[in-house]
Amino acid sequence: MKRGPGEERLGESPKTVCENVDRCPLFPLFSMESTLNVWKALYCHSSQHKSCARFVFVNEHKKPPPADMLPDGTKLKVLPDR
C-alpha cells in the first residue's frame, strides 16, 4: 500500500524518517523500484538518514546536492538509452 506524504511505516517515528523523503529529486532517476527501495530502507526510512550524503550536503550548503549524488556520497552511474 502506498503511503501519502509524511506517513511513516509501522514502527517508524518521524525522527527516523528523512524530512525530504517525499520530495527527493534522486528517486525519479532509478528505473528499478527494488533498487530505490534498498536505498530508502538503508537511509530514508531509518535513523541513518542523518548520515545520508544528500541530507548532509543540503544542511551544510543550503542548496540542493548534485542530482547524481547517492546517499553514500558516490555518484549514480546513468547508462545511456539504447
In this predicted model, what pLDDT tens digit does every residue of 51-72 receive, in sequence order?
999 999 999 999 999 988 999 9
**pLDDT value at residue 54:** 93
**pLDDT value at residue 17:** 87
Cα–Cα distances (Å) from 64 to 7, 35, 41, 59, 76, in that order, read 23, 22, 22, 9, 16
Which three cell numbers mark 8? 511513516
Domain with 60 in it: 26-74
Domain for residue 7, yes or no? Answer: no
Show the low-confidence residues of the chain (pLDDT under 50): 1-8, 10-11
Whether pTM exceeds 0.95: no
Q: How many structural domains does the chain have?
A: 1
Domain for residue 12, yes or no? Answer: no
**pLDDT value at residue 10:** 46
**pLDDT value at residue 13:** 54
What residues are paired with 73 via a beta bridge?
none
Domain for residue 50, yes or no? Answer: yes
**pLDDT value at residue 6:** 44
Of 40, 32, 45, give the one whose Cα is nearest residue 70.
40
